[in-house]
A = this chain, B = another copy of it.
Amino acid sequence: MSSIYGDKIKVAIFGESHSEAIGVTIDGLPAGISIDMEELQVFMERRAPGRSKYATPRKEADRPEFLCGIRDGMTCGTPVTAMIRNENTRSADYDDMKDTPRPGHADYAAHVKYGDANDYRGGGHFSGRLTAPLCIAGGIFKQILAKEGITIDARILEIGGNSNDPFAAVDEAMKDGDSVGGIIECVITGLPAGIGEPMFDGLENVLAKAVFGIPAVKGIEFGRGFDAARIRGSENNDEFYYDDHKVRTRTNNHGGILGGISSGMPVVFRVAVKPTPSIAIEQSSISYSREENVKLKVGGRHDPCIVPRAVPCVEAAAAMALYDMIR
């Protein structure tokens, strides 16, 4: 439950934005798999903050320390745990949040759920920072899947409704102290036909379950998705044909998934990412202690748009879900 993902493997994510450390335990990796730590670090850095003018300048190294389960770059077959120490935390930035929830954030929901014990600092366990351990796990799964010929690539489709020049939308929002969301598309190739389980463990079910683990994701659609609801069967159905003894479909409205099971065509899905809730514009909120409405202006360091950093997270979540499925 909660911060553990998986059926055949288990990925247990731990940590809060301002705790001693964040990290992940992966239980179920087979023995003898070599992990390319350089490649993993490159993957991690796609998510890391402080690398562009759009990202929060909090400069964690985001360099995981592996505590166990890997020896000489090779999995032992036992649980792999990696952690990242939390440094460069400025808890004072979050003093206001103790009494006043930020609109659009998990603050209020967490306040109700955990009461006074809630670690409100930096969003606690709900912080986007928790996608770092997700990327450790996902980066490892991506490497293993790649060895089996399965590739997972996500990219920005649009930001703030702008697909031609997405970063222009970020620049404009930034100027206004505002934020902006976007849509990410993920394509999985090399997945053989026949993968997935019926009903509740189909590819759509498990990919959705994993991808909604990324904060700010508010929608997911497969293949033609919501648009399929607006066309006819004769247009949406993808006709089969033989292409050099291989079964293919002429179109891919089904996004590589039929009945929850892979068809052998590329798996395609899109993810809606909402605008970063933390903005420099004054908003209305409440004071718990005084039980009254107040004004709030979120200080601290925040991304005007987390879509670019969410791209590797989508790949990580997809890799985790897929690896669990085919294990």
Contacts and interface: CB of A to CB of B under 8 A. Distances in A.
Interface of A: 1-5, 7-10, 12-16, 19-23, 25, 27-28, 31-32, 65-69, 71, 74-81, 83, 101, 103-110, 112-119, 123-126, 130, 158, 160-161, 173, 176, 178-183, 193-202, 204-206, 208-210, 212-213, 215, 217-226, 228-242, 245, 247, 249-250, 253-255, 257-264, 272-279, 281, 283-286, 291-293
Contacts of A113: 31, 77, 193-196, 261
A221 B14 contact: no
B212 A218 contact: no
Nearest to A134: B199
Contacts of A232: 160, 173, 176, 178-180, 275
A259 B215 contact: yes
B3 A27 contact: yes
Given A25-B14, A117-B31, A237 B283 contact: yes
Given A14-B69, A68-B19, A103-B238, A108 B283 contact: no
* A10, A71, A183, A209 interface centre (most CB from chain B within 10 Å): A209
Task: Give the residue among A19, A77, A206, A237 with the most B Cβ atoms within 10 A.
Answer: A237
A28 to B, nearest CB: 6
Contact of A259 (B9, B109, B205): B109
A24 to B, nearest CB: 9
A300 B77 CA distance: 25
A275 B231 contact: yes
Contacts of A226: 183, 218-219, 221, 226, 272
Given A14-B68, A229-B273, A239-B285, A208 B212 contact: yes
Contacts of A13: 79, 199
Q: Which 4 A-B pairs have the closest CB atoms?
A: A106-B259, A219-B221, A179-B233, A19-B68
A198 B126 contact: yes
- Which of A1, A8, A285 is most buried by chain B, counting CB atoms within 10 A of its CB? A1
Contacts of A261: 106, 109-110, 112-113
B237 A277 contact: yes
B293 A31 contact: no
Contacts of A78: 3, 14, 16, 114, 119, 124-125, 198
Contacts of A124: 76, 78
B258 A104 contact: yes
A119 B76 CA distance: 6
